[in-house]
Amino acid sequence: MPQPFSQTEPSDLLVQTLGQTYDPKAIQQMLLPLGIKRMPQPISYFNDDIIWSAKASLRLDVYRAPKINELTAHSYSPDDGWIVGCVHFLAPGSDDRIKAPYAGTLPGGLPMDTAPGDAIAAYGLPAMDEMTEWPGFSGRILAWRTPTLNIAMEFEEGTMLRSCTFCLIGCIGSWRDDQPEIFAP
């Protein structure tokens, strides 16, 4: 499983916000070393929203109760506001907004140009390791489940990291249904 998170790396600090109320000023403070001066507020009328920082090559998925409870089997109250459910560290190709890879290291100290073998060496044997194809993606997916979070890494063409996602149990949307033994709450 992942090495203990540091107290100073932005990626490790971001992963520590999972399950916490989204605070744009606190997130912006964490991202100052990457040159981020502002993080937006959630503006969705629905119970989920995506917070982008294209400059940082970062995406945060935030949720309100009851949606976060459905995805994670937790019991947040509507008074808890927007909860950070997922942190995506991105590379070009993950979205058309992303022009550069996430500039920092990934949680546990891995670089963004990490290879699948390096991820396995750092995080241990994955619960899922498969080659897959869907429209716009062909590659390898590695995924780990810990008692408190899921980790998924997408490697385009099997070797180039496209995204690294850390989320609360069950937050990887449709994968809950496709791979319930790994991703379901």
**pLDDT value at residue 1:** 42
**pLDDT value at residue 179:** 72
- Quick count: other Cβ atoms within 10 Å of Cβ 25? 8
Q: What is the count of structural domains for the chain? A: 1
In a domain, 1, yes or no: no
Distances (CA, A) of 56 to 8, 59, 98, 117, 165: 17, 9, 9, 25, 15
Q: Domain residues for 71?
A: 10-183
In a domain, 2, yes or no: no
**pLDDT value at residue 8:** 78
In a domain, 168, yes or no: yes
d(CA 59, CA 112) in angstroms, rounded, equals 15
Q: For residue 181, give the amino acid letter.
A: E
d(CA 13, CA 45) in angstroms, rounded, equals 28
In a domain, 64, yes or no: yes
Is 62:85 a contact under the CB 8 Å cutoff?
yes
Distances (CA, A) of 57 to 10, 94, 121: 13, 9, 25
**pLDDT value at residue 49:** 95
Of 154, 5, 17, 167, the C-alpha closest to 86 is 167
Give the helix ranges, DSSP H, for the chain.
Answer: 10-16, 24-31, 67-72, 116-123, 175-178, 180-183
Query: What DSSP designation does 21 have?
Result: B
User: pLDDT means per 10 residues in the chain (185 residues)?
Assistant: 62 95 96 93 93 95 93 91 96 90 93 95 93 86 88 90 90 67 69
In a domain, 3, yes or no: no
Of 185, 152, 149, 148, the C-alpha closest to 170 is 185
Query: What DSSP designation does 170 have?
Result: T
**pLDDT value at residue 135:** 81
**pLDDT value at residue 158:** 75
Is 108:43 a contact under the CB 8 Å cutoff?
no
In a domain, 147, yes or no: yes
In a domain, 171, yes or no: yes
71 exposed, middle or buried (CB, 10 Å; 0-12, 13-18, 19+)? buried
In a domain, 141, yes or no: yes
